Amino acid sequence: MSILNKGSKLYSIFLNLCPKCHEGKFWKTDNPFKNILLKNSESSISCDKCMIKYELEIGFWYGAMYISYAIGVALMLLLWGGLILCFPLMDITILISLVVVGILIFCPINYHLSRLIWVNIFIKYQGDVN
């Protein structure tokens, strides 16, 4: 079975699908830049198909910050390494500025992915619910 087949966690994470049924959407849209503008009460509440409530307990989404932090650090290291390799003589101020700008641009995608990863840790795929 490929890791991107239905039933795998990566399938749910990268296709923005409910972790339990892999049918309904997790985020209302697939566009992270639109999702970040939604209020918490408007986004990722429950699945339209299997009706599971994504927020398992009060404060559940705080845990997604750990994932977000890890993604942010990984991105920072990637940007830093890539820039140092391509422009070894770049001024440190410009280098730091570019890394910060890169992380800020990636923020909505990070937010989008971190909640999907977090919810997939706790909710397992349970096959077709129909």
What tokens does 42 get?
A: 């408007």
Nearest-approach distance from CB 51 to Zn ion, in angstroms: 7
**Hey, which residues between 49 and 78 contact Zn ion (CB under 5 A)?**
49-50
Of 34 and 49, which CB lies nearer to Zn ion in the complex structure? 49
SS3 call for 9: helix
Site track 3-42 with Zn ion (rule: CB under 5 A), x = hit: ---------------x-xx--x------------------
Query: What is the separation, in whole angstroms, between the first and last Cα of the chain?
Result: 23
How far is 89 from 117, CA to CA, in rounded Å?
Answer: 37
Residues in CB range of 59: below 8 A, 6 or more apart:
none
Of 44 and 110, which CB lies nearer to Zn ion in the complex structure? 44
Return residues touching Zn ion (CB under 5 A): 18, 20-21, 24, 47, 49-50
